[in-house]
């Protein structure tokens, strides 16, 4: 038993330190000597990049709150036509990559798009000088598109918080003369504030790390600065410094969200006894609520998906099926390996925590989960720094031994992309295994020990069979997230290697998304799987 515990301890610490190495490498490089490139960026464009990033995050969070909170409140408390379908349909926009939605809406709203063409046909206008029309390819347009695809984070968490609130609180407020709006603002909204704050922080981090949408809209942010500094200037040092700034911003976002709730105390409420059927809406309120929820679903998911289907049908003969099959296989191959490796790490750190009585057993699990909060572009720079250092060391040793230079064994191959996927998404697997393992009673472990089983036998005969479903879910979630990851894949993919995400993005950047509509639809369908799973678990927990 002692030897097996030692193996779990050693392997957990080794893997956790390897997973945090890219983050440490960013700061180590960032605190090094400054160069001319970073100094030039600081004196010219870095101020504008930083301001754009702040405005992008604030604007996206604000619009996401406007979209997510009202729909969450309506779905949790009121009955409107089709609410049984709407409660999960409003989650689906999360499956839509932002750059795809941005391309479609730009195509619709451009001067040569169908909306402005229809407007000119109706009014008789002949040129853009005769009327004003909003330009979507701006910073506010990027905020709007990102809010369309990210507001379900707030909707999901706020809806869960509203559903957990006791009905007696709002009834008491109504008895004291409060209107429905006043009871919402004074009772329901403050109680849901922690969940809304978490959702807003998720939206902020996603907006901060987005590259595809802001790059397509030509909005320069810190994320695009990292990408341009590495690929444009080939300067890893300057890219690391910008990445370190982004990591500090993320840390401040998370810390400020938690600090804002430091004095707030919430107590669980027994809602099963007093939660009754949703209240019906009538007249104008019913029409307004129906229009809001169904309209939000239509513009955020239904309309873009419909346009992709039209593209796929109209341009299927011009699309390259061979490329689609090849890049689908590439994504399948890389994502499958990443899912297996992430599951192995998740099992090791969770079992070490399970069998160890030391408080330090929690540390490897938490360290291994840090990568999920790091944007893919930033993480890619950390992986490049780490693996490039290893490659240089190997080449120096090989040269000293007169073996010849082996080249870039790690940073120039698929290993770099796999490393980024594992570092970024191991937290997903760890969380899934942790929640499954928490449901296994410790008394089962004790009973197995009394029957002479060691740690290996307990894991094999007791725990693994009981958490098998959680392991499958962990692999599935890591697989799906790896399939959709764009930022890291753009920077770390080997030469002449494309994934579905990079393939679709390249076509969108070249204004030819219609030729990649089929792989874009596949990315959306793949992204729907975890959303359906999350919504089902939410319904079961509140049924």
How many whole angstroms separate alpha carbon 100 and alpha carbon 504? Answer: 8
Could you tell me if 455 and 1 are in contact, meaning their C-beta atoms sit under 8 angstroms apart? yes
Coil vs helix vs strand at 219: coil
Read off the pLDDT band of 535 (50, 70, 90): low
Convert the pLDDT of each residue in 109-147 to its tens digit.
Answer: 988 888 988 888 888 888 888 888 888 889 999 999 999
pLDDT at position 539, please?
Answer: 59
pLDDT at position 274, please?
Answer: 45
298, 315, 305, 342: which is closest to 523 by C-alpha? 305
pLDDT at position 272, please?
Answer: 45
Read off the pLDDT band of 261 (50, 70, 90): low
Convert the pLDDT of each residue in 473-516 to its tens digit.
Answer: 888 889 988 988 998 999 898 888 899 999 999 998 888 888 88
* Of 542 and 326, the one with more pLDDT: 326
With 60 as the cut, is the pLDDT of residue 8 above it? yes
Domain 1-31+317-543: give its CATH superfamily.
MetI-like (1.10.3720.10)
How many whole angstroms separate alpha carbon 384 and alpha carbon 387? Answer: 5
Instruction: For residue 279, list its beta bridge partners.
Output: 78
* Of 182 and 11, the one with more pLDDT: 11
Which segment, 176-180, 363-367, 451-455, is predicted with the most confidence on average? 363-367
* Mean pLDDT computed over 313-318: 82
Convert the pLDDT of each residue in 335-377 to its tens digit.
Answer: 999 999 999 999 999 888 888 877 888 889 888 888 888 888 8
Which segment, 299-303, 395-399, 510-514, is predicted with the most confidence on average? 299-303
pLDDT at position 266, please?
Answer: 53
64, 57, 53: which is closest to 148 by C-alpha? 64
Convert the pLDDT of each residue in 70-121 to its tens digit.
Answer: 999 888 888 888 888 888 889 899 889 999 999 999 999 988 888 988 888 8
How many whole angstroms separate alpha carbon 172 and alpha carbon 29? Answer: 58
At residue 112, φ and ψ (nearest 5 deg) are -95, 10
Show me where the domains of the chain are located. 1-31+317-543
How many whole angstroms separate alpha carbon 497 and alpha carbon 490? Answer: 10
CA angle 58, 74, 188 (to 5 degrees): 70
Average pLDDT over the chain, rounded to whole? 85
Lowest mean pLDDT among 79-83, 368-372, 422-426, 440-444: 440-444
196 Cβ partners below 8 Å, 6+ apart? 65, 69, 154, 157, 158, 161, 189
Question: With pLDDT > 90 as the criterion, what percentage of the chain qualifies?
Answer: 32
- Spell 249-269 as b/e; 16+ CB within 10 A means b: bbeebeeebeeeeeeeeeeeb
């Amino acid at each position: 038993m002692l030897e097996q515990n030692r193996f779990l301890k050693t392997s957990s610490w080794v893997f956790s330190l390897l997973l945090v190495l890219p983050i440490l490498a960013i700061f180590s490089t960032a605190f090094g000597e400054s160069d001319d490139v970073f100094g030039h960026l600081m004196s010219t464009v870095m101020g504008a990049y930083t301001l754009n990033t702040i405005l992008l995050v604030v604007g996206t969070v604000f619009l996401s709150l406007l979209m997510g909170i009202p729909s969450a409140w309506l779905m949790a408390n009121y009955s409107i036509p089709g609410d049984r379908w709407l409660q999960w349909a409003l989650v689906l926009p999360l499956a839509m990559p932002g750059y795809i939605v941005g391309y479609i809406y730009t195509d619709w709203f451009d001067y040569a798009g169908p909306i402005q063409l229809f407007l000119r046909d109706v009014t008789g206008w002949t040129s853009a000088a005769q009327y004003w029309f909003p330009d979507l390819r701006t910073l506010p347009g990027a905020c709007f598109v990102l809010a369309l695809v990210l507001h379900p984070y707030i909707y999901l968490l706020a809806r869960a918080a509203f559903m957990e609130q006791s009905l007696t609180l709002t009834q008491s407020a109504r008895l004291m003369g409060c209107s429905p709006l006043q009871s919402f603002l004074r009772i329901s909204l403050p109680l849901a504030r922690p969940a809304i704050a978490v959702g807003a922080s998720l939206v902020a981090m996603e907006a901060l790390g987005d590259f595809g949408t802001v790059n397509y809209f030509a909005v320069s942010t810190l994320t695009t600065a990292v990408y341009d500094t590495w690929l444009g200037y080939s300067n890893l040092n300057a890219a690391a410094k910008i990445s370190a700034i982004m990591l500090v911003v993320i840390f401040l976002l998370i810390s400020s969200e938690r600090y804002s709730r430091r004095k707030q105390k919430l107590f669980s409420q027994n809602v099963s006894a007093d939660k009754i059927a949703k209240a019906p809406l009538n007249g104008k309120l019913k029409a307004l609520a129906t229009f809001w929820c169904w309209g939000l679903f239509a513009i955020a998911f239904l309309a873009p998906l419909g346009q992709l289907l039209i593209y796929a049908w109209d341009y299927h003969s011009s699309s390259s099926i061979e490329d689609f099959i090849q890049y689908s296989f590439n994504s399948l191959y890389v994502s499958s390996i990443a899912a297996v490796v992430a599951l192995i790490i998740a099992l090791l750190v969770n079992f070490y925590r399970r069998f160890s009585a030391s408080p330090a057993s929690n540390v490897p699990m938490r360290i291994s989960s840090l990568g999920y909060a790091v944007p893919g572009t930033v993480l890619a720079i950390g992986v490049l720094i780490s693996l490039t250092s290893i490659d240089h060391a190997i080449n120096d040793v090989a040269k000293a031994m007169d073996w010849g230079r082996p080249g870039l064994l790690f940073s120039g191959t698929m290993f770099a992309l796999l490393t980024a996927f594992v570092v970024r998404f191991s937290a997903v697997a760890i969380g899934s295994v942790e929640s499954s393992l928490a449901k296994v009673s410790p008394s089962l472990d004790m009973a197995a020990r009394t029957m002479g089983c060691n740690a290996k036998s307990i894991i094999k005969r007791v725990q693994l069979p009981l958490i098998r479903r959680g392991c499958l879910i962990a692999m599935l979630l890591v697989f799906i997230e790896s399939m959709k990851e764009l930022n890291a894949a753009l920077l770390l993919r080997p030469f002449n290697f494309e994934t579905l995400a990079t393939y679709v993005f390249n076509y969108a950047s070249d204004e030819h998304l219609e030729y990649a509509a089929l792989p874009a639809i596949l990315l959306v369908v793949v992204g729907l799987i975890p959303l359906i799973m999350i919504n089902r678990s939410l319904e079961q927990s509140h049924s």
